[in-house]
Structure formats: C-alpha cells, structure tokens
Amino acid sequence: MIGLIFELTNKCNLSCKWCGVKKGKDVLSYDKIISIIEKNKPKWVEFTGGEPLLRKDIFDLIDYCKSRRTYTCLNTNGTLINDKIAKRLNADIIRISIDGLEKVNDKIRGKGSFKKAVNAIESLKKHNKKIIISTAIGKLNKNEPKKIIKYFYPRIKNFMFGRVLPTPELKYKECISTLETIKIYLSLLPYRLNPLLRINYAMQFGALFYFNFIPPEVLADGKVISCCIDRGNVIGSIKQNKKLRSKPCLLFFSNCEKCLRHYFKNDNLRKHGFRRFEIATQFRNL
C-alpha cells in the first residue's frame, strides 16, 4: 500500500469554523494502529485528528514509523507545541494549520491561536524540523494566502493551500468556487516562478492526493473511509474487514457524483479532478 491516513482522535483543543471532524468515541489503540501499519506496509503515514498531540502515545507512533522507514506526516494546529515537544517530534513533515494572519485566523480558529501557532513554528525551526503551513481557503480568508507567504517567508518556504470543502452544516456558504480558486492560484504564481525566492506551494482544488492516488483513512471511531473527501462514505471498520479485503475501493466510488463535496456550484470535481488520480485499490488487512 502506498499510504494511510489515521485520524488518531476526534478530540481537539480548538473549535474551528470549518472543521468536519465529529466528536465521538476514540477506539484506535496504539497496538491496533501498529498492527494495521505492519499488515499493510504503507510507504507513508499521515497522523491527523482532531488534534493528534492530545494523544499521549503520539511520539511513540511517530518513532515506530520512523524505525521502519515509513515517511511520516503530522497534522497539527500547533497550539500545544512548546520547545520540549518540538524537540521530541520526529515526523518527516509537520504541517501547521494557519488560516490567515492574526485577526482572520483567530476569527476562524479561536482567539490566541495565531500567536501560539507562530510560537510553535519558531520552536520547530529551532530544532530544524521540516514545516509546511497549511491553509484552508473559504470566503472569510480568500485574500489571506499572499499575506501568509509574505509574513512567514523566508522562515517558511513550503505552503499548502486548499479550499474549504462543504459539509452538511456549511454547504456552500463558506466555500469559494473553482474560478476563485484559480484566481488565487494565479496570484501566487510570481512567488513560485521567482528562482530567488525558492518558495514551494501546493494548490489543491479539492483535497490532498499523495503520489497521484486517493488515500484511505482510518477514523478515530474505527470506521474506514475510502476517500478523505467524503467522510460519510464508510466502507467498513477495523473490526469488520472482510469487505475491505475482498473488493477494490474503486467499487465504493459509484456514488461520487451524488457527493455534495464534489460540487461547487457547477463544478464537478469528480469529472475535472479525479480523472487524473488512481484510487487506492484495496486493503490487505485491517
């Protein structure tokens, strides 16, 4: 298997406007996660949440992945990172979520979250950690990407921007269209094309796809989804895995055209985005 995403917990110390994670019981134990990794042998693993740093075993999970040379990414809001934690984190990439400069970011993510994230970045830089700033773009912060780059460069040279995906609660009211996304992308091109700046950024039109394939995700409650875009498209659980082993995940995408998240007004992401990507074929064993 190329990669796996683990939602380690649905608990979080923030309450962001655009978060699609629903609170519930966490059932993913350390031993179960290790078992899944051992059986599927992914080339990379992403730990997300909720806020994964709320788990006491997060360092052990990362260290285990590193011991087997599995490329590891940690998604975090950064607000819990101090110097001690920054030194201890051994993930290959630490992705810090920042949705704008202080005023806009704190409106979306909560008062004080921007300063804490900035402090986290400083601590991580001190210990030579690799950092990506990740931004979800919606109506509230569509003018922030350029400001974010200007504020953090040259301390940070890696950025990731993706538009907010609609949820049953948000629908379209907070989302930007594909046309608006393209305009933002074009406005950022001078930063990428300037060889002196050496700025790298990824612009996502839907969600993040690694190595041209859609990664499956194991949720904190034990459910398994075949696509990180549609959390409602459950294909099984870690307790009932025969279905996962017997059929390609591709079969579970028959209802993609009905998925709200694949439409932004008249934009069909399945038609315009998915045609370039290979969907993960199957799980070996969960």
Domains of the chain: 3-279 (3.20.20.70)
Task: Check: CB of residue 113 under 8 Å from CB of residue 14.
Answer: yes
Is a pLDDT exceeding 50 seen at residue 212? no
- From residue 65, alpha-carbon distances to 37, 44, 88, 249, 259 in Å are 8, 9, 14, 24, 33
Structure tokens at 68: 């087997």
Q: What percent of the chain has pLDDT over 90?
A: 46
Which segment of 18-22, 110-114, 255-259 scores lowest on mean pLDDT? 255-259
Task: Return the top range by mean pLDDT from 11-20, 21-30, 50-59.
Answer: 50-59
Residue 202 has pLDDT above 70, yes or no: no
**pTM given for the model:** 0.81
| CB neighbours of residue 29 within 10 Å | 12
Say if residue 230's pLDDT is above 70.
no
Percent of the chain surpassing pLDDT 70: 70
Q: What is the pLDDT of residue 31?
A: 94
CA gap 206, 163 in Å, rounded: 7
Residue 228: pLDDT above 80?
no
Confidence label for 215 from pLDDT (cuts 50, 70 and 90): low
User: Is the model's pLDDT at 252 over the cut of 70?
Assistant: no
